Amino acid sequence: MPAIESKMTAVVLISGSGSNLQAIIDAAKNGSLDITIAAVISNRPGVKGLQRAISAGIPTRVLDHKAYADREGFDAALQQEIDACQPQLLILAGFMRILTPGFVRHYLGRMLNIHPSLLPKYTGLNTHQRAINDGEAEHGASIHFVTEELDGGPIIIQGKVGIESNDSAEQLANKVLKKEHLIYPQAIQWFATKRLQLIDNHAVLDGEALTSPRLLKEQA
Ligand code: GRF
């Protein structure tokens, strides 16, 4: 009897354009990413990422955070939607919400996030402008496990770009996005193939705790 191929089930949370979602969809389609995306959930109605999911035949849901009285209520409803899909992995792809501690604990070790900076530098918002203002020579993006510390969970992989003297925040954001689209599928594939785990608050890849994040291959 032929073996039944079973891919890891993932749910993706978005808030906007969904270009990272697109990179993940494309990688899953071309066979370089062994996941099945069970659903894409947005906290904002009408965003482009929802269209991208629909075009790829992925079920979508909208859970507008404005319809909930507080963060706890929204996160509880979100958790219910996600858990209905029984995912082994939760992918935050431009999901612009601060999560409650209970939500984070529920998905601890199976929730990844992308952040547009070379963490631990520039947690929070406006990372590109802040890096330019500080005269940084380089900038980039990081994939990390989500823990209760905002943008502070163990870092898995980073993609770097140089900052040119005439770069605007928008130009820099576009350069960084190109790296985001490479590092996210890579980290997800490590997780999907069970090479990557969160153990004792460390990112462990191939049995070794990462003492520094991996870099995109072309930069390693
Ligand atoms: C990305 O820069 C991501 O790092 C940040 O929000 C942006 C989302 O872009 N958290 P997209 O929706 O994936 O195009």
The catalytic position among 65, 106, 115, 128 is 115
Instruction: Supply the pLDDT for residue 220.
Output: 45
Per-residue pLDDT band for 6 (boundaries 50, 70, 90) equals: confident
Which of 12, 14, 19, 127 has most ligand 1 atoms within 8 Å of its beta carbon, as the pocket-test mutant? 19
pTM of the model: 0.96
Amino acid found at 157: I
Span 46-71, mean pLDDT?
A: 98
Task: Give the tokens for residue 185.
Answer: 């599928």
Predicted confidence (pLDDT) per residue in 143-196, tens digit: 999 999 999 999 999 999 999 999 999 999 999 999 999 999 999 999 999 999
Task: Give the tokens for residue 117.
Answer: 């900076």
Predicted confidence (pLDDT) per residue in 187-215, tens digit: 999 999 999 999 999 999 999 999 999 99
Q: By alpha-carbon position, which residue is closest to atom 10 of ligand 1?
A: 94
Mean pLDDT of the chain, nearest integer = 96
Q: What are the structural domain ranges in the chain?
A: 2-216
Rg (CA), the chain: 17
Predicted confidence (pLDDT) per residue in 124-145, tens digit: 999 999 999 999 999 999 999 9
Length of the chain, please? Answer: 220
Instruction: Supply the pLDDT for residue 70.
Output: 97
Number of H helices, E strands in the chain: 6, 11
CA atoms within 13 A on the CB side of 64: 5
Q: What percent of the chain has pLDDT over 90?
A: 95
Q: Is the CB of 39 under 6 A from ligand 1?
A: no
Taking a C-beta distance cutoff of 8 angstroms, is the pair 214, 195 a contact?
no
| Separation of alpha carbons 204 and 208, rounded Å | 5
Q: Is the CB of 16 under 6 A from ligand 1?
A: yes
115 is catalytic: yes
CATH number of 2-216: 3.40.50.170
